[in-house]
Amino acid sequence: MRLAAIDIGTNSLHMIVVRVRPDFSFEIIDREKEMVRLGAGGLDGRALTPKAMQAALQVLSKFRRLAESHQVERIEAVATSAVREAENGGAFLKAIVEQTGIRARVISGTEEARLIHLAAAYGLGLTNEVAVTVDIGGGSVEITHGTGPMLVEGRSFKLGVIRLSERFVKSDPLSPNHERKMVRHIEAELKPFLKQIAEAGFDRVVGTSGTILSVGTIAAAEEDGAVPTGLRNRRIDARQIRRVRRMLCEADMEQRLDVPGLEPRRADIAVPGAVLIDVILRRLGAKAITLCDMSLREGIILDYIAAHRKEITQAERYPDVRRRSVIELAERCNYVTEHATRIGTLALALFDETRAIHGLTDREREWLEYASLLHDIGVHISYERHHKHSYYLIRNGDLRGFEPLEVETIAQVARYHRRAVPSREHEEFNELPKERRDTVRVLASMLRLAETLDRSHSLIVTGLALHERDDEFLLVLQATGDAELEVWAASRHAAPLAEVLGKPLRIESVQVRSEITTPGPTRRVRASAPERGSSRGLARGIRPASAAARRPPTEKRRA
């Protein structure tokens, strides 16, 4: 299964595309980020600016196309501080759906902290270590305390770098007076919580997010003499962080742009970021910080995996998302697997045997199979009207990978497997395009007949073959036992298929020993001529065949 996770942050938009492995771990196969400063000028309840929203929408459209190019099955998107606080945050979320098709949800600061902690523990392989995780975003900072992936406590504080920059950075370089005001504000917000963590104790401090990684890159570059190629699990001494803070605060913009390891677009917000992480480390009494390149977006993936293990296992069994979503709906409705599968086998055999007559393609064949698997799911609501309940459940069953008209077609084929046949008097059927109405008639006639071939639910009929004579068709059923009930039921419901064939349809059975398996796209089902004494039947309303026509056929019709 492939998933995409999008973090709509105050400063940047991030997306990762992952492949989930059978053991429920994952590997990142693509990533993208764009700094749009969504929250610039829009924090503390103010509105997101039109310019920032438009830039974000353009990036999200690009993310959507990238995700689709990887054939992801689901996009999980969350919005954080900027959207959470903005007075027009709801309107922005609506615009995202309308312009990109992505449904983003706003998460609380506490939930954001939990997901970040989850990602950090996964990224560093923490199991029994007690860790403090710090994530500095544009609008907030999340600080957590927990053992391995188990969160003990997590908090979110409105101390993001954009927020601090707008409030305290009034000069370039930052004046000592403004730096002191910033520090006092940070300590006033964080001191009680950091004191509580320090007293509880921890084994290490973990830093995530672009701001901390940027400060860590500068520190590592100074230590190594060159910008490092990777930072994962890199341990940075707290004293080195303090030196970076001092250097950035004393430099103006032009000087910061020349700092090795500092991303140019972070040259302004790196100053409050360095001050913030330094204050946190000092208040915790930490001697170092371990850098982690996983954060909220990876936490989103991990959280989804934990909540959808069954679906992911299904993805391994059924790689095709369309088939998997059909099976998932059937299982949610407690379908009888053996019966539904057998009906599908027989319906597809009828489709294949009559392909030269109806002229439908493998696309319609697929619809017939899925309608067969789902035709009885309405039984758990009510048997008497279960065909109508099945129709409703299929229409509203969130079948993924299908176009709306495909879902409607499958639902109507299932709806007409019993009782009334397709009619223009039925509103839903009448609203279909003419070509699709014809398709529903053909497929429903096959499903209706296939359903009767397991009338006893004993799986007696295992295959079939259709033979054309001058004035009729003979349908020979392969059965592992007495199929008299099935022949009787099929003869009563064969008229719609006989109308498709254009000739009367006679049904007989022959006993065999072997079973068949579900046919593939081109599977053909053959049967030998019926033996004397086999069950026979006539479709209701279809004239009896002559004595000569009732003789066993010598050659099966090839369709």
DSSP letters, 452-469, are: HTTTTSS--EEEEEEEE-
Angle at 144 between CA 139 and CA 148, to 5 degrees: 140
- The answer to whether residues 230 and 296 belong to one domain is yes
- pLDDT in tens for each of the 559 residues of the chain? 899 999 999 999 999 999 998 889 999 999 999 999 998 876 777 899 999 999 999 999 999 999 999 999 899 999 999 999 999 999 999 999 999 999 999 999 999 999 999 999 999 988 889 999 999 999 999 999 999 999 999 999 999 999 999 999 999 999 999 999 999 999 999 999 999 999 999 999 999 988 999 999 999 999 989 998 888 889 999 999 999 999 999 999 999 999 999 989 899 999 999 999 999 999 999 999 999 999 999 999 999 999 999 888 888 788 888 898 899 899 999 999 999 999 999 999 999 999 999 999 999 999 999 999 999 999 989 998 999 999 999 999 989 889 999 999 999 999 999 999 999 999 999 999 999 999 999 999 999 999 999 988 999 999 999 999 999 999 999 999 999 999 999 999 999 999 999 999 999 999 997 555 444 443 333 333 334 334 455 443 333 333 333 333 333 333 3
Question: Which domain does 506 fall in, by range?
Answer: 461-538
Give CA–CA dist 131/149, Å, rounded: 9
- The answer to whether residues 168 and 141 belong to one domain is yes
- The answer to whether residues 39 and 76 belong to one domain is yes
What φ, ψ does residue 365 adopt, rounded to 5°? Answer: -60, -40
- The answer to whether residues 239 and 119 belong to one domain is yes
Residue 473 tokens, joined: 């068709």
pTM > 0.85: no
Tell me if 545 is assigned to some domain: no
Q: Are 193 and 155 in contact (CB under 8 A)?
A: yes
- The answer to whether residues 86 and 124 belong to one domain is no
What CA–CA distances, in Å, run from 378 to 334, 426, 449? 10, 19, 19
Nearest alpha-carbon partner for 12 in 194, 215, 168, 161: 161
Q: Are 447 and 509 in contact (CB under 8 A)?
A: no
- The answer to whether residues 273 and 140 belong to one domain is yes
Give CA–CA dist 78/117, Å, rounded: 16
- The answer to whether residues 385 and 268 belong to one domain is no
Q: Are strands 26-35 and 2-8 parallel, antiparallel or unpaired?
A: unpaired
Task: Please tell me what DSSP assigns to residue 422.
Answer: P
Say how many domains are in the chain. 4
Q: What is the CA radius of gyration of the chain?
A: 33
Nearest alpha-carbon partner for 248 in 216, 224, 286: 216
- The answer to whether residues 324 and 427 belong to one domain is yes
142 dihedral zone (left: phi>0; alpha: psi -120 to 50; beta)? beta
Q: Are 342 and 458 in contact (CB under 8 A)?
A: no
- The answer to whether residues 306 and 397 belong to one domain is no
User: Which residue, of 413, 429, 452, is where some domain finishes?
Assistant: 452
- Under 8 Å CB-to-CB from 384, ≥6 apart: which residues? none
Tell me if 546 is assigned to some domain: no
Tell me if 403 is assigned to some domain: yes
Tell me if 71 is assigned to some domain: yes
Residue 469 tokens, joined: 């004579």
- The answer to whether residues 268 and 393 belong to one domain is no
- Under 8 Å CB-to-CB from 273, ≥6 apart: which residues? 136, 161, 211, 212, 214, 215, 266
Which residues, listed in sequence order, are joined to residue 208 by a DSSP beta bridge?
Answer: 135
- The answer to whether residues 282 and 148 belong to one domain is yes
- The answer to whether residues 325 and 285 belong to one domain is no
Tell me if 273 is assigned to some domain: yes
Nearest alpha-carbon partner for 245 in 216, 203, 223, 285: 216
Q: Are 302 and 123 in contact (CB under 8 A)?
A: no
Tell me if 176 is assigned to some domain: yes
CATH number at residue 188: 3.30.420.150
- The single-letter code of the amino acid at 288 is A
Tell me if 393 is assigned to some domain: yes
Residue 72 tokens, joined: 């992801």
